[in-house]
A and B are shown apart, each in its own frame.
Chain A
Amino acid sequence: MRMAWVVAAFAALVVLLAVGLTLNPREVPSPLIGKPAPAFELPLLHAPEKTFSHKEMLGKAWVLNVWASWCPPCLVEHPVITALAKSGLAPVVGLNYKDARQDALPWLNRNGDPYLLSVFDANGRIGIDYGVYGVPETYVIDRRGVIRYKHIGPLTPEVSRDKVAPLLRELSREG
């Protein structure tokens, strides 16, 4: 009888630890889900004299992808972002995070530019407002400007197919 207790306690511990192992401790749940996307007005990467504001995206669902030329995982996810943008489900806006123009522009030339446009967040201030802590990060924002989903780290084809694309389809039905 006593043995049964010990075995049960051990099994419970194993289950607890097994669940713990499947969680990613680096993934911090964003408090921004369901909240309005933080405001920004930033110069364009391609045209420093022009600015772009989040307000210009109101009325349609869109994807904000935080990227930088100095970030190797960004290169890894780039084909996935490119495929997502090509799918035409939603426009993808790039937030070029703490980068330099002379690095970022050749990076886009080399790897292709899937973005509707990229804004240039030189000092990372807007990144902080969006709670960015590890580039790349990807946000899905609905037509009212509310953040509906956030993915931290490189967007994988699976996450793009199973999470982002269905959500964008749902959002386009809503509108």
Chain B
Amino acid sequence: MRASLLALALLAGASLAQDPALDKRVAGLAQELRCLVCQNQTLADSNAPLAVDLRNQIREQLQGGASERDVIDYMVARYGDFVLYRPPLKATTLALWIGPFVLLLLGALLLWRRISRRRAPVPALSEAERARAAQLLE
């Protein structure tokens, strides 16, 4: 009984690890693609039925000789740029890509203005003002 269980486990292990190189490519792609069902997870992290289907789809296509680029194009054709965790730079995604840098620049500008204002030299007192100040302090 135990021996047969062991054999079964070995067999299952062997069939899973049939092609570690392929597994690695599938996992790599699945990390780059968003699961449409649970949108804050990658295809690799999600166990939603659709994610499982899509992972199988990736594996099938890679096995069939498709390149990484082909698989990504296949997904984008069906689900749009949204599936990509690294969306391409184009007119519709411009705000996404440069927005943070614009905000950073704006923040730096405000900070710089504030600092330079604080540093502005205090105007020197005239002789008359000095005398008046001394008088007041006495």
Which positions in A face B, CB cutoff 8 Å? 25-26, 28-32, 98, 123-124, 128-131, 133-134
21 contacts between A and B (CB under 8 A): A26-B39, A28-B36, A28-B82, A29-B80, A30-B80, A31-B76, A31-B77, A31-B80, A31-B81, A32-B78, A124-B50, A124-B53, A128-B53, A128-B54, A128-B57, A128-B78, A129-B78, A130-B78, A131-B78, A131-B79, A133-B37
With A28-B79, A31-B80 given, can you name 11 additional A-B contacts, CB distance below 8 Å?
A: A26-B39, A28-B36, A28-B82, A32-B78, A123-B53, A124-B50, A129-B78, A131-B78, A131-B79, A133-B37, A133-B79
Chain B residues with CB below 8 A from A28, complex form: 36, 79-80, 82
The CA-CA distance from A30 to B50 in the complex, in Å, is 17
The answer to whether A133 touches B36 (Cβ under 8 A) is yes
A interface footprint on B18-55 (CB within 8 Å = 1, 0 otherwise):
00000000000000000011010000000001100110
The CA-CA distance from A128 to B80 in the complex, in Å, is 12
Give the number of A-B contacts (CB < 8 Å).
36
A interface footprint on B76-95 (CB within 8 Å = 1, 0 otherwise):
11111110000000000000
The answer to whether A31 touches B79 (Cβ under 8 A) is yes
Min Cβ gap A117→B in Å is 24
Chain B residues with CB below 8 A from A130, complex form: 78
- Contact status of A133 and B50, CB under 8 A, knowing A26-B39, A28-B36: yes
By CB atoms of chain A within 10 A, which of B54, B76, B79 has the most?
B79
Which positions in B face A, CB cutoff 8 Å? 36-37, 39, 49-50, 53-54, 57, 76-82
The CA-CA distance from A124 to B52 in the complex, in Å, is 11
Checking A25, A31, A98, A134 against B78 with a beta-carbon cut-off of 8 angstroms, the contacting residue is A31
The answer to whether A98 touches B49 (Cβ under 8 A) is yes
Chain B residues with CB below 8 A from A133, complex form: 36-37, 50, 79
The CA-CA distance from A123 to B62 in the complex, in Å, is 19
Chain A residues with CB below 8 A from B81, complex form: 31
By CB atoms of chain A within 10 A, which of B49, B50, B54 has the most?
B50
The CA-CA distance from A30 to B82 in the complex, in Å, is 9
Chain A residues with CB below 8 A from B50, complex form: 124, 133
The CA-CA distance from A6 to B54 in the complex, in Å, is 48
Chain B residues with CB below 8 A from A98, complex form: 49
Chain B residues with CB below 8 A from A29, complex form: 80, 82
Chain B residues with CB below 8 A from A26, complex form: 39
8 smallest A-B Cβ distances: which pairs?
A133-B36, A131-B78, A31-B80, A28-B82, A131-B79, A124-B53, A133-B50, A133-B37
Chain B residues with CB below 8 A from A129, complex form: 78
